[in-house]
Amino acid sequence: MGKEIERKFRVRDDRWREGVHGVHYRQGYLQSERERTVRVRLAGDAGWLTIKGETRGVTRSEFEYPIPAEDATALLDELCDRPQIEKYRYRIEHDGHVWEVDEFLGDNAGLVVAEIELASADERFSRPPWLGDEVSDDPRYFNANLVRHPWRDWSENA
């Protein structure tokens, strides 16, 4: 069984942008419930189908499979819930770890978060200087929730 151990943070400033190039992501959900999500993603020209279980702490079950880009596009266009998530993802190496910084577009424009995948929930890592507050325990920041409750509608952002 696949496991994802992930910590998520707000991004404090733009220092992370130096020398990075992003990949455009489009993703939608075939099913989005607390207990499970089924996601279709088009990352650049690569298609993916991902099934995730309920998050417990910073860990959840994850099964991810490559699919043809044409199939991903058809699923996104024809079967996935609306609205969908669009973002640019940037991969940044820092002190032996890879951080993925997501810069959201559309209804979530202005939101920038960074994620790090770990081998264990208690694995140590150093924080890049541009990293802000941790939001791993805040379900509002889950991509599936950003579809239903976009960042632009949060009262503190209005």
What does the pLDDT look like over 17-70, one tens digit per residue? Answer: 999 999 999 999 999 988 999 999 999 999 999 999 998 888 889 999 999 999
- The angle at the Cα of 52, spanning 51 to 58, to the nearest 5 degrees, equals 155
Report how far apart, in Å, the C-alpha atoms of 65 and of each of 71, 77, 117 are: 12, 19, 18
The CATH fold of domain 3-157: Hypothetical Protein Pfu-838710-001 (2.40.320)
For 104-147, write each residue's pLDDT tens digit: 999 999 999 999 999 999 999 999 999 999 999 999 999 999 99
d(CA 105, CA 86): 5
- The CA distance from 57 to 147, in Å, is 22
Q: Which residues are 32's β-sheet partners?
A: 37
Q: Return the closest-CA partner of residue 20 out of 107, 80, 98, 75.
A: 98
Of the residues 25, 29, 90, 141, which is catalytic? 29
DSSP three-state, residue 147: helix
Angle at 76 between CA 74 and CA 81, to 5 degrees: 140
- Higher-pLDDT residue of 156 and 135 is 135
Please tell me the distance from the alpha carbon of residue 37 to that of residue 34, in angstroms, as a whole number. 7
φ, ψ for residue 156 (rounded to 5)?
Answer: -75, -10
Give the model confidence (pLDDT) of 67-98 as tens digits: 999 999 999 999 999 999 999 999 999 999 99
Antiparallel, parallel or unpaired: β 97-104 and 85-94:
antiparallel
Sequence spans of domains, the chain: 3-157
Tokens of 154: 């949060």
Catalytic status, residue 29:
yes
